[in-house]
Structure 1
Amino acid sequence: MTENEDEAIARPGFRFSLNAVILWIAILALIFTNVLTYNAVLDLKNELRTSAVSGMPIPAEEVAKQFIKATNIPSTVTTEVEDVRYSPEEDTYLVEFAWTLTATGKKWYSSTRLKSDGFGFYHGQILSSQFNQPLGRTRPYSVSVHTPSPLKGKP
Protein backbone atom coordinates (compact mmCIF):
# COMPACT_ATOMS: atom_id res chain seq x y z
CA MET A 1 0.00 0.00 0.00
CA THR A 2 1.06 3.47 -0.71
CA GLU A 3 0.84 6.48 1.54
CA ASN A 4 -2.03 7.97 -0.42
CA GLU A 5 -4.09 4.80 -0.10
CA ASP A 6 -3.50 4.69 3.69
CA GLU A 7 -4.65 8.29 4.06
CA ALA A 8 -7.79 7.68 2.01
CA ILE A 9 -8.76 4.71 4.15
CA ALA A 10 -7.87 6.34 7.49
CA ARG A 11 -9.95 9.49 7.09
CA PRO A 12 -12.94 9.21 4.83
CA GLY A 13 -13.92 12.88 5.11
CA PHE A 14 -17.37 14.41 4.94
CA ARG A 15 -19.30 14.01 1.74
CA PHE A 16 -22.46 15.89 0.91
CA SER A 17 -25.17 13.41 0.05
CA LEU A 18 -28.72 14.19 -0.98
CA ASN A 19 -29.83 10.87 0.52
CA ALA A 20 -28.42 11.85 3.92
CA VAL A 21 -30.23 15.21 3.83
CA ILE A 22 -33.54 13.54 2.93
CA LEU A 23 -33.03 10.99 5.71
CA TRP A 24 -32.42 13.75 8.31
CA ILE A 25 -35.47 15.71 7.11
CA ALA A 26 -37.60 12.55 7.42
CA ILE A 27 -36.29 11.89 10.94
CA LEU A 28 -37.02 15.48 12.02
CA ALA A 29 -40.52 15.30 10.50
CA LEU A 30 -41.23 12.08 12.39
CA ILE A 31 -40.06 13.62 15.66
CA PHE A 32 -42.21 16.70 15.03
CA THR A 33 -45.34 14.67 14.22
CA ASN A 34 -44.77 12.47 17.28
CA VAL A 35 -44.60 15.56 19.50
CA LEU A 36 -47.81 16.95 17.96
CA THR A 37 -49.58 13.59 18.35
CA TYR A 38 -48.43 13.27 21.96
CA ASN A 39 -49.80 16.75 22.76
CA ALA A 40 -53.12 15.95 21.05
CA VAL A 41 -53.43 12.72 23.06
CA LEU A 42 -52.72 14.61 26.29
CA ASP A 43 -55.42 17.17 25.43
CA LEU A 44 -57.93 14.39 24.73
CA LYS A 45 -57.06 12.63 27.99
CA ASN A 46 -57.55 15.87 29.93
CA GLU A 47 -60.88 16.49 28.19
CA LEU A 48 -62.06 12.97 28.99
CA ARG A 49 -60.89 13.30 32.58
CA THR A 50 -62.81 16.55 33.07
CA SER A 51 -65.96 15.19 31.43
CA ALA A 52 -65.72 12.06 33.60
CA VAL A 53 -65.40 14.25 36.68
CA SER A 54 -68.56 16.14 35.89
CA GLY A 55 -70.18 12.88 34.80
CA MET A 56 -72.65 14.67 32.56
CA PRO A 57 -72.96 13.87 28.88
CA ILE A 58 -74.38 17.39 28.37
CA PRO A 59 -73.26 20.31 30.55
CA ALA A 60 -75.95 21.60 32.94
CA GLU A 61 -75.84 25.03 31.30
CA GLU A 62 -76.60 23.50 27.89
CA VAL A 63 -79.48 21.44 29.31
CA ALA A 64 -80.94 24.61 30.86
CA LYS A 65 -80.53 26.56 27.62
CA GLN A 66 -82.21 23.86 25.50
CA PHE A 67 -84.98 23.37 28.08
CA ILE A 68 -85.79 27.10 28.13
CA LYS A 69 -85.81 27.21 24.34
CA ALA A 70 -88.22 24.24 24.19
CA THR A 71 -90.61 25.54 26.85
CA ASN A 72 -90.51 29.32 26.50
CA ILE A 73 -93.73 30.29 24.71
CA PRO A 74 -93.63 34.10 24.83
CA SER A 75 -97.36 34.66 24.27
CA THR A 76 -98.36 32.33 27.13
CA VAL A 77 -95.51 31.37 29.49
CA THR A 78 -91.88 32.28 30.04
CA THR A 79 -89.65 29.72 31.70
CA GLU A 80 -86.42 29.79 33.64
CA VAL A 81 -84.41 26.84 34.93
CA GLU A 82 -83.69 26.86 38.65
CA ASP A 83 -81.48 23.74 38.86
CA VAL A 84 -80.22 20.82 36.77
CA ARG A 85 -79.03 17.55 38.32
CA TYR A 86 -77.73 14.42 36.60
CA SER A 87 -78.00 10.81 37.76
CA PRO A 88 -75.36 8.60 36.08
CA GLU A 89 -77.03 5.43 37.42
CA GLU A 90 -80.29 6.24 35.63
CA ASP A 91 -78.76 8.41 32.86
CA THR A 92 -81.42 11.00 33.67
CA TYR A 93 -81.51 14.76 34.21
CA LEU A 94 -83.74 16.31 36.85
CA VAL A 95 -84.68 19.82 35.76
CA GLU A 96 -86.27 22.13 38.33
CA PHE A 97 -87.82 25.12 36.65
CA ALA A 98 -90.16 28.05 37.13
CA TRP A 99 -92.53 29.64 34.69
CA THR A 100 -94.48 32.83 34.69
CA LEU A 101 -97.92 33.11 33.13
CA THR A 102 -97.86 36.06 30.79
CA ALA A 103 -101.56 36.86 31.31
CA THR A 104 -101.52 36.99 35.12
CA GLY A 105 -97.82 37.38 35.99
CA LYS A 106 -98.14 34.50 38.48
CA LYS A 107 -95.03 32.37 38.95
CA TRP A 108 -95.17 28.59 39.34
CA TYR A 109 -92.51 25.97 40.12
CA SER A 110 -92.17 22.36 39.03
CA SER A 111 -89.65 19.75 37.95
CA THR A 112 -89.35 17.08 35.32
CA ARG A 113 -87.06 14.18 34.51
CA LEU A 114 -85.39 13.90 31.14
CA LYS A 115 -84.47 10.26 30.42
CA SER A 116 -81.94 9.12 27.85
CA ASP A 117 -82.97 7.19 24.77
CA GLY A 118 -79.40 5.90 24.45
CA PHE A 119 -78.63 7.96 21.35
CA GLY A 120 -77.87 11.37 22.85
CA PHE A 121 -81.47 12.58 23.28
CA TYR A 122 -83.10 13.14 26.67
CA HIS A 123 -86.90 13.21 26.68
CA GLY A 124 -89.38 14.14 29.39
CA GLN A 125 -92.88 15.46 29.94
CA ILE A 126 -94.20 18.35 31.97
CA LEU A 127 -97.20 16.93 33.81
CA SER A 128 -98.19 20.08 35.69
CA SER A 129 -101.74 21.16 34.86
CA GLN A 130 -100.79 24.75 35.82
CA PHE A 131 -98.28 24.69 32.95
CA ASN A 132 -100.41 22.82 30.41
CA GLN A 133 -103.75 24.55 31.01
CA PRO A 134 -102.73 28.04 29.75
CA LEU A 135 -101.37 26.35 26.63
CA GLY A 136 -104.78 24.78 25.99
CA ARG A 137 -103.34 21.29 26.42
CA THR A 138 -105.01 18.35 28.10
CA ARG A 139 -101.99 16.10 27.62
CA PRO A 140 -98.48 16.52 29.06
CA TYR A 141 -96.05 18.88 27.33
CA SER A 142 -93.09 16.99 25.81
CA VAL A 143 -89.57 18.38 26.14
CA SER A 144 -86.27 17.06 24.81
CA VAL A 145 -82.63 18.09 24.87
CA HIS A 146 -79.77 16.53 22.94
CA THR A 147 -76.03 16.20 22.78
CA PRO A 148 -74.29 17.74 19.80
CA SER A 149 -73.71 15.42 16.86
CA PRO A 150 -70.11 14.22 16.52
CA LEU A 151 -70.44 14.61 12.73
CA LYS A 152 -71.41 18.29 12.69
CA GLY A 153 -69.05 20.33 10.60
CA LYS A 154 -67.31 17.29 9.14
CA PRO A 155 -67.63 16.24 5.49
Structure 2
Amino acid sequence: MRPVILWLACCALVAAAGCGSEPRPVDPRNASVNDKLVAVSKGFSEATAGLGRPPKTDAELRPYLERFGPPDEVLRSPNDDQPLVVNFRAVAPGDVVACERAGAGGRRAAVNVRGEVSTISEADFARLQSPGTGPKPKMDPPTEGHKQGSLKGIIDKAGGPKQP
Protein backbone atom coordinates (compact mmCIF):
# COMPACT_ATOMS: atom_id res chain seq x y z
CA MET A 1 0.00 0.00 0.00
CA ARG A 2 2.79 2.38 0.92
CA PRO A 3 4.60 2.09 -2.48
CA VAL A 4 1.33 2.96 -4.24
CA ILE A 5 0.90 6.12 -2.16
CA LEU A 6 4.53 7.08 -2.77
CA TRP A 7 4.12 6.48 -6.51
CA LEU A 8 0.93 8.60 -6.62
CA ALA A 9 2.66 11.40 -4.69
CA CYS A 10 5.56 11.37 -7.17
CA CYS A 11 3.13 11.53 -10.10
CA ALA A 12 1.35 14.47 -8.51
CA LEU A 13 4.66 16.32 -8.02
CA VAL A 14 5.70 15.71 -11.63
CA ALA A 15 2.31 16.92 -12.88
CA ALA A 16 2.44 20.02 -10.67
CA ALA A 17 5.94 20.88 -11.88
CA GLY A 18 4.52 21.71 -15.32
CA CYS A 19 1.92 24.09 -13.90
CA GLY A 20 2.69 27.78 -13.79
CA SER A 21 5.63 27.57 -16.16
CA GLU A 22 6.61 30.63 -18.15
CA PRO A 23 4.94 30.94 -21.55
CA ARG A 24 7.07 29.84 -24.42
CA PRO A 25 7.84 32.41 -27.09
CA VAL A 26 6.16 31.93 -30.44
CA ASP A 27 8.81 30.78 -32.91
CA PRO A 28 7.92 32.87 -35.98
CA ARG A 29 9.52 30.32 -38.33
CA ASN A 30 7.10 27.50 -37.54
CA ALA A 31 4.29 28.86 -35.34
CA SER A 32 0.79 28.04 -36.47
CA VAL A 33 -1.83 30.72 -36.80
CA ASN A 34 -3.52 29.15 -33.74
CA ASP A 35 -0.35 29.66 -31.64
CA LYS A 36 -0.16 33.27 -32.74
CA LEU A 37 -3.85 33.97 -32.11
CA VAL A 38 -3.66 32.45 -28.63
CA ALA A 39 -0.59 34.62 -27.93
CA VAL A 40 -2.51 37.72 -29.07
CA SER A 41 -5.47 36.78 -26.86
CA LYS A 42 -3.20 36.24 -23.84
CA GLY A 43 -1.34 39.47 -24.54
CA PHE A 44 -4.67 41.31 -24.86
CA SER A 45 -5.84 39.90 -21.51
CA GLU A 46 -2.55 40.80 -19.83
CA ALA A 47 -2.68 44.31 -21.31
CA THR A 48 -6.22 44.67 -19.97
CA ALA A 49 -5.05 43.64 -16.50
CA GLY A 50 -1.92 45.80 -16.65
CA LEU A 51 -3.66 48.91 -17.97
CA GLY A 52 -6.84 48.46 -15.93
CA ARG A 53 -8.80 48.55 -19.21
CA PRO A 54 -8.53 46.91 -22.64
CA PRO A 55 -5.72 48.26 -24.82
CA LYS A 56 -6.95 50.92 -27.22
CA THR A 57 -4.14 50.82 -29.75
CA ASP A 58 -1.53 48.60 -31.28
CA ALA A 59 1.13 50.54 -29.35
CA GLU A 60 -0.54 49.65 -26.02
CA LEU A 61 -0.78 45.95 -26.95
CA ARG A 62 2.72 45.35 -28.34
CA PRO A 63 4.66 45.42 -25.02
CA TYR A 64 2.42 42.59 -23.76
CA LEU A 65 3.16 40.49 -26.85
CA GLU A 66 6.96 40.69 -26.55
CA ARG A 67 7.18 37.71 -24.19
CA PHE A 68 5.70 35.54 -26.97
CA GLY A 69 8.21 36.71 -29.58
CA PRO A 70 8.74 39.76 -31.77
CA PRO A 71 5.34 41.52 -31.95
CA ASP A 72 5.59 42.02 -35.73
CA GLU A 73 5.98 38.26 -36.15
CA VAL A 74 3.36 37.33 -33.54
CA LEU A 75 0.88 39.61 -35.33
CA ARG A 76 1.47 38.06 -38.79
CA SER A 77 -0.59 35.14 -40.09
CA PRO A 78 1.41 32.33 -41.70
CA ASN A 79 -1.67 31.43 -43.77
CA ASP A 80 -2.06 34.69 -45.71
CA ASP A 81 1.24 36.40 -44.72
CA GLN A 82 -0.70 39.48 -43.63
CA PRO A 83 -0.96 41.20 -40.25
CA LEU A 84 -3.66 39.86 -37.94
CA VAL A 85 -6.54 42.25 -37.34
CA VAL A 86 -7.00 43.14 -33.66
CA ASN A 87 -10.41 44.21 -32.34
CA PHE A 88 -9.60 46.74 -29.62
CA ARG A 89 -13.29 46.86 -28.62
CA ALA A 90 -13.31 43.27 -27.33
CA VAL A 91 -14.29 43.00 -23.65
CA ALA A 92 -16.73 40.10 -23.13
CA PRO A 93 -15.58 36.45 -23.13
CA GLY A 94 -17.10 35.67 -26.55
CA ASP A 95 -15.80 38.82 -28.25
CA VAL A 96 -13.42 38.28 -31.16
CA VAL A 97 -10.01 39.70 -30.17
CA ALA A 98 -8.16 38.99 -33.41
CA CYS A 99 -8.66 37.33 -36.76
CA GLU A 100 -6.87 36.77 -40.02
CA ARG A 101 -7.24 39.56 -42.54
CA ALA A 102 -7.86 37.24 -45.50
CA GLY A 103 -7.20 33.67 -44.34
CA ALA A 104 -6.71 30.84 -46.80
CA GLY A 105 -8.92 28.43 -48.68
CA GLY A 106 -12.09 30.42 -47.96
CA ARG A 107 -11.57 30.17 -44.19
CA ARG A 108 -10.20 32.54 -41.52
CA ALA A 109 -8.92 31.83 -38.06
CA ALA A 110 -10.19 33.98 -35.20
CA VAL A 111 -9.69 34.00 -31.43
CA ASN A 112 -11.97 35.26 -28.68
CA VAL A 113 -11.16 36.83 -25.31
CA ARG A 114 -11.09 33.36 -23.68
CA GLY A 115 -8.33 32.29 -26.09
CA GLU A 116 -10.58 29.90 -28.02
CA VAL A 117 -9.53 29.68 -31.66
CA SER A 118 -12.01 28.88 -34.41
CA THR A 119 -11.55 28.49 -38.13
CA ILE A 120 -14.53 30.13 -39.74
CA SER A 121 -15.85 29.87 -43.29
CA GLU A 122 -16.37 33.16 -45.14
CA ALA A 123 -20.15 32.61 -44.94
CA ASP A 124 -20.05 32.15 -41.15
CA PHE A 125 -17.56 34.99 -40.82
CA ALA A 126 -19.99 37.31 -42.63
CA ARG A 127 -22.68 36.41 -40.07
CA LEU A 128 -20.60 37.55 -37.10
CA GLN A 129 -21.95 40.72 -35.55
CA SER A 130 -20.08 43.87 -36.41
CA PRO A 131 -19.02 46.65 -34.03
CA GLY A 132 -20.95 49.87 -34.14
CA THR A 133 -24.10 48.22 -35.52
CA GLY A 134 -25.13 46.28 -32.46
CA PRO A 135 -23.33 44.02 -30.03
CA LYS A 136 -19.56 43.69 -30.38
CA PRO A 137 -18.21 40.92 -32.63
CA LYS A 138 -18.76 37.50 -31.10
CA MET A 139 -17.77 34.06 -32.23
CA ASP A 140 -21.09 32.77 -30.95
CA PRO A 141 -23.89 32.85 -33.55
CA PRO A 142 -25.86 36.12 -33.55
CA THR A 143 -29.25 36.01 -31.90
CA GLU A 144 -32.56 37.10 -33.39
CA GLY A 145 -33.35 40.77 -33.07
CA HIS A 146 -29.76 41.98 -33.29
CA LYS A 147 -28.70 43.90 -36.36
CA GLN A 148 -26.29 41.65 -38.20
CA GLY A 149 -23.29 42.56 -40.29
CA SER A 150 -19.74 41.31 -40.54
CA LEU A 151 -16.28 42.00 -39.21
CA LYS A 152 -15.64 43.59 -42.60
CA GLY A 153 -15.65 47.03 -40.96
CA ILE A 154 -12.75 46.09 -38.67
CA ILE A 155 -10.82 44.59 -41.57
CA ASP A 156 -11.57 47.52 -43.90
CA LYS A 157 -10.45 49.94 -41.19
CA ALA A 158 -7.24 47.92 -40.85
CA GLY A 159 -6.61 48.28 -44.57
CA GLY A 160 -8.54 45.30 -45.95
CA PRO A 161 -6.95 42.17 -47.37
CA LYS A 162 -3.62 42.91 -49.02
CA GLN A 163 -3.05 41.40 -52.42
CA PRO A 164 0.19 39.37 -52.62
Normalising by the residue count of structure 1, what TM-score does the alignment of the two structures yield?
0.30
1 or 2, which has the higher strand percentage? 1
Specify the structure having the higher radius of gyration (Cα): 1
Q: What is the TM-score with the length of structure 2 in the denominator?
A: 0.28
Q: Which has the higher contact order (CA 8 A, sep 6+)?
A: 2
